[in-house]
Amino acid sequence: MFITAAAAVLVTMALALFRSLKGPTVFDRILAINSFGTLTVILISVHGFMAGRPEFLDLALVYALINFIGTIAVTKFVTYGALENTTDENEPGDI
Amino acid sequence: MELVLDVVSWGFILAGSGFCLIGGLGLIRLRDMYARKHGASLIDTLGIGLILTGLMVQAGFTLVTAKLFLILVFVFFTSPTTTHALARAALNSGLVPDVDKDSPIKQGAVPSKK
């Protein structure tokens, strides 16, 4: 049962990788890597169940956190060219 | 009773895998970056949702189910945020969505704040 889930996730990962390699714009690549990260979360959870190791789910949770942060950081970097001091004068900085 | 749980979790996991595949296919086949976002968000919502629910059914009432539920709650809140941030960034940096020809966005009136 878990084998089918793992196989489906691996095939979808291949599709996402193909999109990230082929994607014309940089946003396609970020999109593909974001779904690749979510698929990794699923793969870690399923593998944790297959191998009978419940602590894998902590890895999956942390991976989901990092995947979110990474995608937002890359998106910001792509649009503003930098990660820090990107708020221009007439827009009040939030932090 | 054990058989019922197995059948239910098997159904969830199969459905989740199917949605993952459909999302992946959408990621490949759809024409425009904004359309591909539908495929990607299909994976983020139903793909991970159904597979992890299947795992939850398999695990029963244990700490493992709590962790799985936490993962689901987190992904439930963050995946729309990333999708929104990405779409806004793409729109602001001038990626014109491939919509019908006479829409204002098509004529380059990209509502970018910069």
pLDDT tens digit sequence for B35-63: 889 888 989 999 999 999 999 998 888 88
A52 domain-assigned: yes
A32 domain-assigned: yes
pLDDT for residue B1: 80
pLDDT for residue B20: 92
A90 domain-assigned: no
Centre a 10 Å sphere on the Cβ of residue B6 and count the other Cβ atoms it contains: 13
Q: How many cross-chain Cβ pairs, A to B, lie less than 8 Å apart?
A: 139
Residues A84-88 have a mean pLDDT of 72
pLDDT for residue A35: 92
ipTM exceeding 0.90, yes/no: no
Query: Domain total for chain A?
Result: 1
**B48-106 tens-digit pLDDT:** 999 999 999 988 888 899 999 999 999 999 999 999 999 988 888 877 777 665 666 55
pLDDT for residue A65: 93
Chain A hits for B96, Cβ within 8 Å = none
Q: To the nearest whole number, what is the mean pLDDT of chain B?
A: 85
**A7-34 tens-digit pLDDT:** 999 999 999 999 999 888 889 999 999 9
Separation of alpha carbons A53 and B100, rounded Å: 51
pLDDT for residue A2: 87
The answer to whether A34 and B82 have CB atoms below 8 angstroms apart is yes
A92 domain-assigned: no
Separation of alpha carbons A72 and B2, rounded Å: 42
A3 domain-assigned: no
Residues A68-86 have a mean pLDDT of 86
A1 domain-assigned: no
- In order of A72, B7, B104, the CA distances from A67 in angstroms are 9, 32, 35
Chain B hits for A16, Cβ within 8 Å = 24, 27
Separation of alpha carbons B52 and B59, rounded Å: 10
Is the C-alpha dihedral spanning B49, A66, A28, B99 positive or negative? positive
A19 domain-assigned: yes
pLDDT for residue A84: 80
Question: If DSSP codes are grouped into helix, strand and coil, which group holds residue A18?
Answer: helix
Report B:86-105 residues touching A (Cβ under 8 A): 86, 89-90, 92-93, 95
Residues A76-80 have a mean pLDDT of 87
pLDDT for residue A90: 65
Domain that holds residue A15: 8-80
This prediction has a pTM of 0.84
Contact A18 B28 (CB under 8 A): yes
A93 domain-assigned: no
